[in-house]
Amino acid sequence: MNENIEWWRGAAIYQIYPRSFMDANNDGTGDLRGIIQRFDHLINLGIDAIWISPFFKSPMKDFGYDVSDYRAIDPLFGDMHDFDELIALAHSNNIKIIIDQVPSHSSDEHPWFLESRESRDNPKSDWYVWADAKPDGSPPSNWLSVFGGSAWEWEPRRSQYYLHNFLDSQPDLNFHNPRVREAILDYMEFWLKKGVDGFRLDAIIFCFHDPELRDNPAKQSNDNFMGSRMQSPYAMQEYKYQHTQPENISFMQEIRALLNRYPGTVSLGEIGTDDSISVMAEYTKGQNRLHMAYSFDLLGENASVAHIREVVETSEDKMRDGWPCYALSNHDVMRVVSRWGAKANGHVLAAAKAFNVLLGTLRGSFCVYQGEELGLPEADIKFEELQDPYGMTFWPIFKGRDGCRTPIPWQATASNAGFSDAKPWLPVPIEHQTIAVDVQEKNTSSVLNAHKEFLAWRKNNPVILYGDIEFIDVSNHIIAYQRKNSESELVVYINLTPEEQQIEIDNNKSLKVSNDFGAIEASFSNNVITFSPYSCFIAYLV
């Protein structure tokens, strides 16, 4: 990698959901030592960084995204010695460590909240968002929780409501209070001193709220991703006052100023709102805000060529100062091979390869969620097996996030697929065992080996890492684009359908085929590319 370019530009980031990666102490839940135990898998993948979802002390009502101590590791995941060892192991293998930070809210078991709720005049009384009831006793505003119902919860100790944008056990911190911002930055610096290389900032748009608590207006359309996927009334409001407030920019600048004191560290913001790309552009503008951001625009059900192209071209147009990061799956959404229809049409493995190539050939950095390197489909979790409160609330219209959070299958014939000797916190589906890591390692044409080969090829191609992108008009079924820098040009064609496709191309330059990394390759003859289902064609222009 060019030493003059920041490591995170064009980086392949692997997201680890620690509960489900590997269980080293056989209690049924994955842990930090499990990551250490399976670190060879990460090395062999050829990734640049790992992003670890929360492992902080927590009552686990939202599985770690409800933090009760920002500086402590929950015993479920291990201890600080385990984390120190993991940091050292990663750095010795030139792999960066990014950790989740959850600044907008805490657990209701956090000492700050326990003190704040006791009275209206204690030292932490204004560390959370408190408000009086309306004269009729109803909540202060019409704001709704992402997880269902009002975003306000009554607290009898204060005879006031407190704000929670998610579960009622996740009260929102009051970022209008400078002491809160100082405290949040202080705990972030704690982890920087431990040696982390950056932060993924969860729900970062929710830090500030409208201090006047004005009602959100009704929404004119029902296309809000976070709400419409489970038919929630959350989709019925325009979130003009509840989040994405102008004051958030100043907090982004404070985060960047902190990170600038630790050279080589990076910030990655999660942006989940309407017109996310405009917000991403605003939050990454210039050199004094976030380094990168990603949105939910490619984490929905729309897998059309037109939609993907629109997302990327809009990002390119609006994020002229910032750097995009893309993801096709994560711990909050259905796995991509199921969400984009490949499981239903019977082409899971071919599609998994194609989607990984798509993600890794766009301009920007990208996050691969654990299991995507295996082509895991969404697990079908029975209601009695559910752990996610989100799914319990909206079942059966929305079944929650457990289906994408099941344990990684390491060994096809081992108990619980080698994840744990104990009963796992979520079941391991039989269909996942058949495509376990040990099976795929022995199969030269597997999704896993194709992904390894692709990442190795990508790492040696600066035009893919940093080059410009320009889309090519082909058809409604083939996504096509050119990647170009001062030294080389290449073209990428990917069939995103389960049907065979054929296109004729007219190039002024000769094509040197470069698709030699295990993905299903389209055939090329006499300027005609013939695509099998979910196949790829990549070639240099020479």
Q: Quick check: is 270 catalytic?
A: yes
Residue 247 annotated to the active site: no
Q: Fill in the amino acid letter for 538.
A: I
**d(C-alpha 526, C-alpha 78), whole Å:** 59
Give the amino acid at 96: K
Give the whole-angstrom CA distance, residue 414 versus residue 33: 20
Query: Which contiguous run of DSSP H or E holds residue 491?
Result: strand 489-495
Distance, in Å, from the CA atom of 36 to the CA atom of 22, rounded to the nearest integer, reads 9
| Residues 216 and 242 sit within 8 Å (Cβ to Cβ) | yes
The secondary structure of residue 121, as a DSSP letter, is S
Beta-bridge partner residues of 56: 73
Residues in the chain: 542
CB 368 within 8 A of CB 455: no
| Residues ≥6 apart with Cβ < 8 Å to 5 | 466
Nearest C-alpha neighbor of 68 from the set 45, 41, 96, 102:
102
Contact status, residue 436 vs residue 370, Cβ threshold 8 Å: no
Q: Which of 62, 155, 172, 270 is catalytic?
A: 270
Catalytic residue among 62, 82, 155, 202: 202
What is the rounded distance in angstroms from the CA atom of residue 284 to the CA atom of residue 392? 36
CA atoms of 32 and 98, how far apart (whole Å): 14
Active-site residue list:
202, 270
